[in-house]
Structure 1
Amino acid sequence: MPTPLVFVYNADSGVLNGLRDLWVKTVAPERYDCPLCAVTYGPLGMHRRWRDFTCALRRDVTFLHRDELRAQYGLSGVPLPCAFELTPGGPRVWLSAEQLRAARTTDDLMALVRARAEQDR
């Protein structure tokens, strides 16, 4: 059975943080620090194409913010955004920040995830 995946945004959780992120993405997108969020979220929430794609991966997929990563797994100082697989030994990097930052569009991101998932088969 494939291991669960956790995608971690380079942003903190909460309504005020979400509003700030939306404002920065809209007014000064070049200053926004989370390319994962930039290509997967719009003003009304997660893009349906991305949500449908992750549901079709046939693995449990969850999404966390960096403060939630610290709270749930005790991890900090990890370059973000990042995707982890949850192994019996603990979270292990599945897609690095460098790889995720290279995905400029939702299509790029889906191709990256598809290619990485193929390596696991």
Structure 2
Amino acid sequence: MKKTLFFVYNAQSDIWNKYLDSLHKIISPATYSCDLCSLTHGNFSEKKVWKNFRENSDYEFVFMYKDEFLDTYTYLEDKSFNLPIIFQKQEEKINLLFDSEGLSSLNSVEELIEFLKKKIS
């Protein structure tokens, strides 16, 4: 059974919000509210080192926006977490790997990759 990593962005999935998020990230990156997106993506596309890691991993990667996650996982009892988050799902069990505070402490996509390798190995 392949293990799945979920990456939940602190952003909404509709086209208008995606557009506004892109502008915000370019105009004022220091105040952009999704550290996960800032780590894994440049202004216009996924970072090459991240894409290479993702494509060569033994894990399945699932990316969700805030609204998609909350709509899908309505049964979660504890919804007090801040986004973005990364969690691992095995069957119905969800294990938090990184919370928003942990993600905000990372300085590069390479640090994220190294932390993920340690957590999931």
Shorter-chain TM-score above 0.5? yes
Q: Does the alignment pair 1:114 with 2:97?
A: no
Contact 1:35–1:104 (8 Å) recurs in 2: no
Deviates more, 1:47-56 or 1:31-40: 47-56
In structure 2, how many angstroms separate the alpha carbons of the residues matched to 1:66 and 1:25?
17
Any idea what the Cα deviations from partners look like across 1:54-105, whole Å, max 9, x if unmatched?
Answer: 2222011111111110111125442111111112233221222222111121
Q: Does the alignment pair 1:16 with 2:40?
A: no
TM-score with structure 1 setting the length = 0.86
TM-score with structure 2 setting the length = 0.86
In structure 2, how many angstroms separate the alpha carbons of the residues matched to 1:80 and 1:39?
14
Aligned sequence identity (%): 26
Residue 101 of structure 2 aligns to a residue whose secondary structure is: helix
Q: RMSD of aligned C-alpha atoms?
A: 1.7
Residue 12 of structure 1 aligns to a residue whose secondary structure is: coil
What 5-or-longer segments of structure 1 have no aligned partner? none
Matches within 5 A, 1:1-121: 1=1, 3-74=3-74, 75=76, 76-118=79-121
Residue 46 of structure 1 aligns to a residue whose secondary structure is: coil
Report runs of 4+ in structure 1 exceeding 4 Å deviation: none
| 1:2 Cα deviation after fit | 5.0
Contact 1:103–1:112 (8 Å) recurs in 2: no
